[in-house]
Amino acid sequence: MAKVKALVLRTAGTNCDWETEYALKKAGAEAQRLHIQRLLERTVGGNNPANLFRDYHILVLPGGFTYGDDIAAGRILANILRFHLREALEHFLGEGKLMMGICNGFQTLVKGGLLPALYQNGAGPARDSGLPEVTLTFNDSNRFEARWIHLRACSSKSVYVEEGESLYLPVAHAEGKFVPRDDSTLQRLRDSSQIVFRYVDEGGDGAGYPHNPSGSVEDIAGICDPTGRILGMMPHPERYVEPYQHPNWSRNGLNKEPDGLRLFLNAVRYVKKNLL
């Protein structure tokens, strides 16, 4: 039987690549970590960029502080993707494959123009219009926020999660405040069901700080592209893939399918159903 193959792309400052690789393997994928410099080396000598991601079905940009978050979180890695790997990524995504950006990876996808990739004038997704539709900026608290938070899945489009699901995951970021360019951009995100996750309180209702740790507009914690196959999220699903990782497991018992693992399982199931 064909294997679901996943690539975890890392670089200087990435620090969640091992956990992400583990999560993908636990979900049933054959996962590999690769430094972006090794990938860039393959573009030298006239190699066809379309072949760079040919062997993979899922591409994940994990969390961390790529290049020290100099300039802005995820900005340098985003520029590398945009100016050196854009053709390869377009080919990869054009084949109907999956991409996920977690925390710093989400920041990279946004600043690299891969999210939100809103449809424009009905002509299809504009993955890089040159003008940022949204950004992720400094938390309202002006400090690094690290805690477990509640999420509600809001999208009927994402392949990673079912609408209405509740999740409990950790966050760890200083630049996680989601801000759309204007009200019309926010409305288009709503209308196209691209808002995947919102921060909520214990009862599932929208709430302010600390439930929304960054001050994100409309409590937005994650979005997808118009196809539902590219996901960006600030919380860390790879940090809750084992029952013992839940902070209250000894009080509440063990969850046989940890909330974070569900996203990776759904990604693997999607590939098996649609790409193999």
Q: Extract the tokens encoding 180.
A: 């759309």
What's the rounded Cα separation, in Å, for the pair 161 and 91? 25
Q: Extract the tokens encoding 185.
A: 């951009």
In contact, 268 and 4? CB cutoff 8 Å? yes
| Active-site position among 19, 145, 175, 238 | 238
| Active-site position among 57, 150, 173, 236 | 236
Residue 238 among the catalytic residues? yes
Collapsing DSSP to helix, strand or coil, 126 comes out as coil
Residue 30 among the catalytic residues? no
What's the rounded Cα separation, in Å, for the pair 115 and 85? 16
Collapsing DSSP to helix, strand or coil, 231 comes out as strand
| Active-site position among 16, 103, 154, 224 | 103
Query: At residue 268, what are phi and psi to the nearest 5 degrees?
Result: -65, -40
What's the rounded Cα separation, in Å, for the pair 266 and 147? 25
What are the Cα distances from residue 149, in Å, to 103, 146, 163, 231, 243?
14, 9, 18, 19, 16
Q: Extract the tokens encoding 165.
A: 């699901």
What residues act catalytically?
103, 236, 238
